C-alpha cells in the first residue's frame, strides 16, 4: 500500500441560533414598556418661601418641598399658601410613568413695616427679597413686600447692626444699636414688677422668671423672650428672693425671706404645690442636691443651712455655718457643701455625711455667690466688699484672686461650656442709702474663665442684681433692681468673643459715671 497521508477535513461549525437571545431581548423590552406605562406618576413640588404649606386634594403634604414617586395618574387640586403671600391654587395633571417637577414662587403682599431704633435716629439700608434697596433714617414707617429683609443699621459711636428678618405681616421692630466696640447685643429691655431680685431662665430656655423682692401682690413674674409678660405667681402676700428649677423643668423652688418659707411650684400649671418651712430666719439661696432629692437653703440671719427632704417636705437638719451664709455649691458626689459667708468674707466647706464644717479661707470682705467648674476642680466666689472674684482649687485648697471687678460684684454665672465667667456689679452705692440710685451705673463683665481676660463689658442700669445664662448659652439676662426692669442680650460663640479684642473693655469706664 502506497505511503499516503490522509487529512480529516474539519467539521462544519453548527450555526448558532439567535432565537433565545432575541426572545430575551423582546421580553426585556416588553417588561420595560409595561413598567413605564403601568407605573404610577412621580411628582416634585418646591416653593418659595421654603416653608410654604403644600396641599394636594385638601390634604397637607409638606412644607416647602413635596416629593412622591408613587402617585396615581389623574387630576389633583394643588394649593400652596403662606401667611404674607398670595396663595396659588391650580389643577395639576399627572400622567402614568412620567415625572412632573414644579417650582412655585408665591407673590409677596405689601404689609405695614415700622422700624424704630435706639438711638432714635440711625441710618438704615434694607434689601428686600426681590433685591430692591431702601435707604434712609429711622424711624421708618411704610409698606414693604413680604419676604426676607436684610437690614443694616449705623449710627455715630455705635456698632453696626446687621440682621435678617422675615417680614410677613404688620411689623413694628425696635432695635438697639450697641455702644461702639461692644460685642454682645442688647435685644430688649423688659419692664418687671418692683425690685426684681432674681432673674432665671427656665430649664427649656424659653421663659424668664424673676422674683420681686418687695412686692406685696406678685412675688414672681414670668416673661417670654419677646419681653411679653405671660404669667405670675402670688406668694401669700410677700415677695420672692431666689429661684431654682428642677433639671426636667417641672418644678421651681422659690425662697421668701419674710416668712422663712420655700414654695414648690408646678411650672406648667403655675400653681403652688407645697410650702416648706426652713425653721430658721431670712432664707436666701437655694440649691438642689445632684440627685434632686434634697433642697439646701441658706439662712441669712439664722447663720445656718436648712436641709429639706423633697419627698416628705420635712426638714432633715439645720447645718450650722459661718456668719450670714449666702452662696451655696453642693458637690457632684454628694459629700460636701460649700458656703460663701457674707458677714466676714469666709468660704466654708461642710461634710454632708458628718454635718461638721471648716473655714477654708477668710478675705475679711463679703463673699456672696459661688459657681463651679468641678471637672477642673475650681470654684469662683464673688466678694462684694473687696471687688474680687476669688478662685478656689478644690483639689489643692489654694485660693487666688482670679480677677478684680467694678464696685459691688454680686451675682456670677458660668456659661454652659464653662468658658465664660459672667459677673454682675451693682455699682457704687449712694452716700446715704443703697436703696436709692448711686452716682454710677452698674455693669456686667464677661471674663475668659481660663485666663481672666476681659471679653466684653456691658453698662447696666441702677443696681444690676439677678443674672443668668440660657441653657444653650446664647442669651444673657440680668435685672436692674432699682429700675424695675431686665435686660436681655444675645451672646455670640466663645471664639467670636475671644477674637473680639476685649469688646468695650478699653473704654467702658468713661460711661459708668452718670
The per-residue pLDDT for range 200-228, each reduced to its tens digit, is: 999 999 999 999 999 999 999 999 999 99
Q: How far is CA 461 from CA 129, 155, 334, 501, in A?
A: 38, 22, 38, 24
Q: Give the Cβ contact number of residue 67 at 10 Å.
A: 12
Torsional class of 352: left (φ above 0), alpha (ψ -120 to 50), beta (otherwise):
alpha
Task: Collect all residues with Cβ–Cβ distance below 8 Å to 19 and sequence separation of at least 6.
Answer: none
pLDDT-derived band at 329 (thresholds 50, 70, 90) equals: very high
- Asked if residue 244 has pLDDT above 90, the reply is yes
pLDDT at 12: 52
Report, at the CATH architecture level, how domain 185-511 is classified.
7 Propeller (2.130)
Question: pTM of the prediction?
Answer: 0.89
Handedness of CA 452, 485, 122, 172 (dihedral sign): positive
How do residues 455-477 score in pLDDT, each as one tens digit?
999 999 999 999 999 999 999 99
- pLDDT tens-digit map of 392-403: 999 999 999 999
Residue 64: Cβ-neighbour burial (10 angstroms; 0-12, 13-18, 19+): middle
pLDDT at res. 39: 74
Q: What average pLDDT score do residues 307-317 get?
A: 98
41-48 and 99-105: which strand pairing?
A: parallel
More confident site: 36 or 486:
486
CA-based nearest residue to 222, from 285, 269, 185, 187: 269
Residue range(s) in the chain whose domain bears CATH number 2.60.40.10: 109-176
Q: What is the pLDDT of residue 23?
A: 53
CA distance 235 to 213: 11
pLDDT at 356: 95
pLDDT score, position 420 = 99
Note whether 167 and 113 are within 8 A (CB): yes
Cβ atoms 271, 239 nearer than 8 A: no
Comparing 36-50, 79-93, 156-170, 345-359, which segment has the lowest mean pLDDT? Answer: 36-50
Phi and psi dihedrals of 111, rounded to 5?
-130, 150
Measured distance CA(254)–CA(249) in Å, rounded: 14
Report percent pLDDT > 90 for the chain: 91
Task: Read off the C-alpha cell for 405.
Answer: 471687678
Q: What are phi and psi of 156, to 5 degrees?
A: -60, 135
Phi, psi angles (nearest 5°) of residue 89: -130, 120
Kindly state the average pLDDT of the residues 166-177.
Answer: 98
- Residue range(s) occupied by CATH 2.60.40.1120 in the chain: 43-107
pLDDT greater than 50 at residue 147: yes
State the pLDDT at residue 35. 44
The pLDDT tens digits of the residues spanning 8-65 come to: 545 555 555 545 555 555 545 544 444 445 579 999 999 999 999 999 999 999 999 9
Give me the phi and psi of 474, to 5 degrees please: -90, -10
Which CATH code of 3.30.470.10, 3.40.50.970, 2.60.40.10, 3.40.50.12500 fits the domain covering 109-176? 2.60.40.10
Average pLDDT, the chain: 94
CATH 2.60.40.1120 applies to domain 43-107: yes
C-alpha–C-alpha distance, residues 108 and 295, integer Å: 55
CB 193 within 8 A of CB 214: no
CB 171 within 8 A of CB 111: yes
Q: What's the pLDDT score for residue 1?
A: 43
What share of the chain has pLDDT > 70, as a percent? Answer: 93
Contact 469, 413 (CB under 8 A): yes
Enter the C-alpha cell of residue 150. Answer: 436684610
Q: Which pLDDT band, with edges at 50, 70 and 90, does 3 fall under?
A: very low
249-258 per-position pLDDT tens digit: 999 999 999 9
Which residue, among 405, 399, 390, has the nearest Cα to 446 in the 3D structure? 405
Q: Are strands 409-414 and 315-320 parallel, antiparallel or unpaired?
A: unpaired
The string of pLDDT tens digits covering residues 251-279 is 999 999 999 999 999 999 999 999 999 99
Amino acid at each position: 500500500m502506497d505511503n499516503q497521508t490522509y487529512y480529516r477535513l474539519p467539521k462544519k461549525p453548527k450555526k448558532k441560533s439567535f432565537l433565545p437571545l432575541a426572545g430575551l431581548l423582546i421580553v426585556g423590552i416588553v417588561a420595560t414598556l409595561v413598567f413605564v406605562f403601568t407605573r404610577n406618576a412621580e411628582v416634585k413640588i418646591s416653593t418659595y418661601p421654603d416653608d410654604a404649606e403644600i396641599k394636594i386634594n385638601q390634604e397637607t403634604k409638606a412644607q416647602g418641598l413635596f416629593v412622591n414617586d408613587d402617585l396615581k395618574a389623574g387630576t389633583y387640586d394643588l394649593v400652596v399658601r403662606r401667611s404674607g403671600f398670595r396663595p396659588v391654587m391650580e389643577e395639576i395633571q399627572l400622567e402614568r410613568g412620567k415625572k412632573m417637577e414644579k417650582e412655585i414662587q408665591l407673590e409677596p403682599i405689601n404689609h405695614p413695616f415700622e422700624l424704630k431704633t435706639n438711638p432714635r435716629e440711625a441710618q438704615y439700608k434694607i434689601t428686600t427679597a426681590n433685591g430692591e434697596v431702601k435707604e434712609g433714617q429711622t424711624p421708618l414707617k411704610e409698606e414693604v413686600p413680604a419676604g426676607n429683609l436684610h437690614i443694616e443699621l449705623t449710627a455715630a459711636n455705635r456698632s453696626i447692626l446687621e440682621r435678617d428678618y422675615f417680614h410677613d405681616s404688620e411689623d413694628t421692630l425696635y432695635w438697639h444699636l450697641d455702644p461702639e466696640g461692644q460685642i454682645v447685643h442688647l435685644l430688649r429691655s423688659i419692664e418687671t414688677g418692683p425690685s426684681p431680685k432674681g432673674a432665671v431662665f427656665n430649664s427649656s430656655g424659653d421663659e424668664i422668671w424673676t422674683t420681686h423682692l418687695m412686692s406685696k401682690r406678685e412675688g414672681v413674674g414670668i416673661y417670654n423672650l419677646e419681653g411679653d409678660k405671660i404669667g405670675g405667681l402670688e406668694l401669700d402676700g410677700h415677695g420672692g428672693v431666689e429661684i431654682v428649677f428642677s433639671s426636667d423643668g417641672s418644678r421651681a423652688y422659690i425662697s421668701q425671706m419674710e416668712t422663712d418659707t420655700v414654695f414648690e411650684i408646678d411650672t406648667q400649671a403655675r400653681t403652688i404645690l407645697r410650702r416648706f418651712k426652713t425653721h430658721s430666719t431670712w432664707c436666701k439661696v437655694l440649691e438642689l442636691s445632684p440627685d434632686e432629692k434634697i433642697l439646701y437653703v441658706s439662712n441669712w440671719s439664722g447663720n445656718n443651712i436648712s436641709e429639706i427632704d423633697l419627698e416628705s417636705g420635712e426638714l432633715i437638719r439645720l447645718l450650722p455655718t459661718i456668719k450670714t451664709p449666702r452662696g451655696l455649691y453642693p458637690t457632684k458626689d454628694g459629700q460636701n457643701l460649700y458656703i460663701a459667708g457674707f458677714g466676714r468674707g469666709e468660704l466654708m466647706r461642710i461634710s454632708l455625711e458628718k454635718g461638721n464644717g471648716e473655714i477654708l479661707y477668710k478675705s475679711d470682705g463679703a463673699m456672696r455667690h459661688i459657681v463651679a467648674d468641678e471637672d477642673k476642680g475650681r470654684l469662683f466666689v464673688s466678694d462684694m466688699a473687696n471687688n474680687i472674684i476669688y478662685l478656689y482649687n478644690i483639689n489643692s485648697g489654694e485660693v487666688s484672686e482670679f480677677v478684680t471687678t467694678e464696685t459691688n460684684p454680686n451675682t456670677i454665672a458660668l456659661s454652659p461650656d464653662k468658658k465664660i465667667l459672667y459677673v454682675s456689679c451693682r455699682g457704687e452705692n449712694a452716700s446715704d442709702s443703697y436703696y436709692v440710685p448711686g452716682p454710677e451705673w452698674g455693669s456686667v463683665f464677661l471674663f475668659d474663665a481660663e485666663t481672666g481676660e476681659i471679653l466684653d463689658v456691658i453698662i447696666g442700669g441702677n443696681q444690676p442684681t439677678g443674672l443668668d445664662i440660657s441653657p444653650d448659652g446664647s442669651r444673657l439676662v440680668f435685672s436692674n433692681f432699682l429700675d424695675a426692669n431686665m435686660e436681655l442680650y444675645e451672646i455670640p460663640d466663645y471664639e467670636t468673643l475671644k477674637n473680639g479684642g476685649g469688646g468695650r473693655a478699653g473704654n467702658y469706664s468713661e460711661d459708668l459715671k452718670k
